[in-house]
Structure 1
């Protein structure tokens, strides 16, 4: 099992071998123990993604027969309209992250979830780069991601600006 990054490394190695190389330029490393839990686990921060009950099922049960499937296209015009909802002077944010928080906020509004209920959003985060970069060997091709969760009261998520939701996700990724 490997992450997309690990799969890319595997394909690069395979292409080098197909082109006649006697070995891959980056030798594969399979040290699963690198990402094992400490022998004495130490909780360093809250992990909302492991909470047993975070989001109410009442909203889903009430909407079950009313839900429809629909596709949306987010082009430059739509992305710009979403970015306009961020507080002025807000720094850069990736398109994917922007669309995800936009959908999270407006899905919560559409489902009319009780304002005191918790809503959460999980996102896959690579541990190969970024704030929590782990010192993995160059050839490590195993899974190297985590799925942190942002959590908010539905009322806060719905009433505050989109910047609030973006900040929740950024904090969860730290």
Structure 2
């Protein structure tokens, strides 16, 4: 199998895993049960670290198009748009930082920056697009409560869990799947210190 075909197979596999994980969702905050947690961003983050941010975006897009085609939408596309935008907001900064200089440190810094960026994007997109599109008109006090008690903790929890799971899995599969060292690009000797 040539390199291009191998890469396409891996992207397809990661997209399929993301689709399956998208089905397994659960509420995290009882006050806001519509904020559903899933781990479907993990395969996209793995693809981002393995092949770059563009591949991560493609996996996010494929996952959401496939879920729409198979399951349809119960949120008038609002949930799928949110899942795509927030997933991309998390993985692009992580991928850009990591691919500038591949190391354990840049992977961690990138995921932290991705989590912060996702928080900012979630607030802006919810306030000006998603909530109005879903017909949820909130006054300033309600919006502030939703941001502080809903969005910030939910996206913080999600970004930490996705980042930790990605970090652990990438170390285990990077050699076999992505053909890179398991220490996020450092020397083989430093892999033992990770």
Shorter chain as normaliser: what TM range?
under 0.3
Identify the structure with the greater helix proportion.
2
TM-score (norm 1): 0.27
Bigger relative CO (Cα 8 Å, ≥ 6 apart): 1
Larger Cα Rg: Structure 1 or Structure 2? 1
TM-score (norm 2): 0.25
